[in-house]
Amino acid sequence: MSQSTFLDRRLFAELAGKAGQSPRQRAHHNLHEMSEPCHRLAVGLQPDTYIPPHRHLSADKAETLLVLQGRIGLLLFGDDGVLQSTRLLEAGGDCVGVDLAPGQFHALVVLAADSILFECKAGPYRPLGEGELANWAPREGEPEVGEYLAWMKAQF
């Protein structure tokens, strides 16, 4: 980016509003150019968004997530879909974020309206590929999403 961007309440309100208007209930604000080697973005999230369990298999795709506003539940799964652990990520709480190792199946559930997440990982952007979306969980848009999302939220 050619200018500095402040991660302030104005940006948070804008992102939360856009997320609320989006069919997917989330909105991104990139802080990077797509050609940059480090991708940094702020993400506005609403409680009805579904972020399916997935992983990043490339060795350079560690992912750092920090909650700047709100509350988000993190679920970590084994390759077989068994829930290994959960952690509450909360702005101002005991745990505000996570640094995820490549290859770790993970999912997020939004537990407070207007949550804002900071995400950082290596570029370039690549859509999830073979073996990166969990075959044991519903994909976005599938009829089972509502029930699965409710189960994920119930873990918190």
Q: Using one digit for the tens of pLDDT, what is the confidence trace for 39-82?
A: 999 999 999 999 999 999 988 889 999 999 999 999 999 999 99
What total number of domains does the chain contain? 1
pLDDT tens digit at each of 156 positions of the chain: 568 999 999 999 999 999 999 999 999 999 998 888 899 999 999 999 999 999 999 888 899 999 999 999 999 999 999 999 999 999 999 999 999 999 999 999 999 999 999 999 998 877 788 889 999 999 999 999 999 999 999 999
- DSSP characters over 76-145: EE-TTS-EEEEEEEETTSS--EEEEPTT-EEEEEE-STTEEEEEEEESS-----TTTB-TTSPPTTSTTH
| Residue 1 forms part of a structural domain | no
Both tokens of 33, joined, read 């150019």
Domain harbouring 65, CATH code: 2.60.120.10
Residue 139 lies in domain:
9-154
pTM: 0.94
| Residue 15 forms part of a structural domain | yes
pLDDT of residue 128: 82
From 64, 80, 69, select the one nearest 44 (Cα to Cα): 69
| Residue 2 forms part of a structural domain | no
95 sits in which H/E element:
none
| Residue 109 forms part of a structural domain | yes
